[in-house]
Amino acid sequence: MATSCHEGCSYDFALELGRAVLTPGELCEARVRVKRLSIPAEGEGAAEDERVGAADNAGDPSSSPRGSEDPGSVSRNEVWFDLCCYERVDPGLVEVRARDYDSGGAAGKTRKKVERVIGRSERVRHGLRISPSDPEAWFSVLIEVPEGSPPTYTGASVSYAYKLRIGAGRAVPSKKAASGFREVEKASTTFPLCFWPSQSRAGQRRQDRAQQEDGSVPFALCVAEIADDASGLGSGFTEGSHKPSVSTSAAPAGDHHPDLPSPGSSLRDYAMPDFMRYGRRSSRSGAELEDLEILSPRERESSYNIYCGEVCLVRLHVLGDLDAQPGDLIECVLDFLPSAGASCAKVSVELCSEETVLRPRQGNKARVKSSRQAYCDEESVLHSARTSFTLSVPRESPPSFESDLVKLEWELRFAFDVLTGPSGAKGQLNWKLPVRLSLKH
């Protein structure tokens, strides 16, 4: 549970999520607790409300001091919710129109990055029923962000952040206020939310959708109070409300190969089965030559032949899903093939993300791409027949995606120090394998 309470604030807020990572295009649910830290006695509160209301309505013959007759009708407590997606851009790297963004200036100074809201929900208000004997209330909040919205991401040129803002306050009648009420006591806080695309939607660009007057995409937000005797997510909604469905069916098991080792087992003495010994990918042109009569589509993705010139130097076997998510294991086994023309002295492997600016600013084309390394290892393999690497995708890794401004891709990068010819001339062979990061369902 995430909580927020600022010094001197009259309210304490708490947020519970059914899962830590949410998905655009799917209905997500959260529980919110709003607690009043100090509630004045009924008589004191009514007297203060009457004094403030009388001051605002002074000279208005239609106003009447209803507080003396019905203290509860003088003021009202309410809570409100809204959800926004913020896009922060470095205008030195991305071509954007400055008038579409907030300059971010403060006290005559300007931040490097500019910001704007690209998605928002309508502000949802709900009555807040609290008392000195029961100072807190629970609410169930349903959130839906349109499919294709960018994920939560902080990059070198562009950042996307989702924030759920919760506020609470007390208002008194006022003829001077447009709404008829003036807030005399209020507090608010912001909770960050993490959104990731699912595997079936990873890499999709945001589609054109209906926009609001400020150009932002509308988000869906629904709020209901949870009864005192209710417990668990969704308990605040009555029949007919849109609640997320939970599927308990098992995922398809897929192809099963009993001769493959389980993740984390030793691979150095592992004998490769025949089905992983075919299929090749040429490092010279990137073209793929495959033995279609032997390999199934799933199996062809598991084995690659890496060439140095005309010589097949290494056979790479990937044990793990290249459509991965944070925490997954990827195991690579490299068989070095005997050859009189070339031999490998050292191999290194990296898991890297590469951010590509799709709308680079004129004059900054050299900074279109930037990379981050998530994993790196190397090993001396001269006179070795086999080596292996086991890596775990870091849990803080951002997903693969593409928005209007930026694209993020993941790849495994292999570098081989090669000795060629009778004299053992040194050279380096670089080879890449794409990886896609997204949530699995």
pLDDT at 278 over 50: no
Mean pLDDT in residue range 133-151: 92
Return the pLDDT at 200.
Answer: 60
- pLDDT interval class at 319 (50, 70, 90): confident
194-204 per-position pLDDT tens digit: 999 887 654 44
Mean pLDDT in residue range 140-144: 94
290-308 per-position pLDDT tens digit: 333 333 444 445 889 999 8
Top-confidence residue, 146 or 211: 146
Return the pLDDT at 132.
Answer: 83
pLDDT at 378 over 50: yes
- Say how many C-beta atoms besides its own lie within 10 A of residue 284's C-beta: 9
In the numeric block, which tokens belong to residue 372? 């981050």
pTM over 0.75, yes/no: no
pLDDT at 128 over 80: yes
pLDDT at 262 over 90: no
Return the pLDDT at 321.
Answer: 81
The answer to whether the CB of 224 falls within 8 A of the CB of 139 is: yes
Q: 355-375: buried (b, 16+ CB within 10 Å) or exposed (e) per residue?
A: bebbebbeeeeeebeeeeebb
pLDDT at 256 over 50: no
The answer to whether the CB of 45 falls within 8 A of the CB of 75 is: yes
Return the pLDDT at 137.
Answer: 93
39: buried, middle or exposed (CB in 10 Å: 19+, 13-18, 0-12)?
middle
Mean pLDDT rounded to a whole number for the chain? 74
Rounded Cα gap, residues 282 and 429, in angstroms: 12
In the numeric block, which tokens belong to residue 363? 């004059």
Q: Which of 122-136, 254-268, 310-324 has the lowest mean pLDDT?
A: 254-268
Domains and CATH numbers, the chain: 2-61+69-225 (2.60.40), 274-437 (2.60.40.640)
Q: Which of 24-33, 149-158, 159-168, 278-287 has the lowest mean pLDDT?
A: 278-287
Return the pLDDT at 185.
Answer: 72
Pairing label, strands 21-22, 181-195: parallel
pLDDT at 255 over 50: no
Residue type, 212: Q
Mean pLDDT in residue range 43-60: 52
Rounded Cα gap, residues 99 and 121, in angstroms: 22
DSSP string, 225-276: EPPTT--STTTTPPTTS-------PPPP-----TTSPPTTS--TTPPPPGGG
pLDDT at 22 over 70: yes
Cα distances (Å, whole numbers) of residue 358 to 71, 151, 190: 60, 17, 31
Counting residues of the chain whose pLDDT is more than 90, the rounded percentage is 37
The answer to whether the CB of 326 falls within 8 A of the CB of 394 is: yes
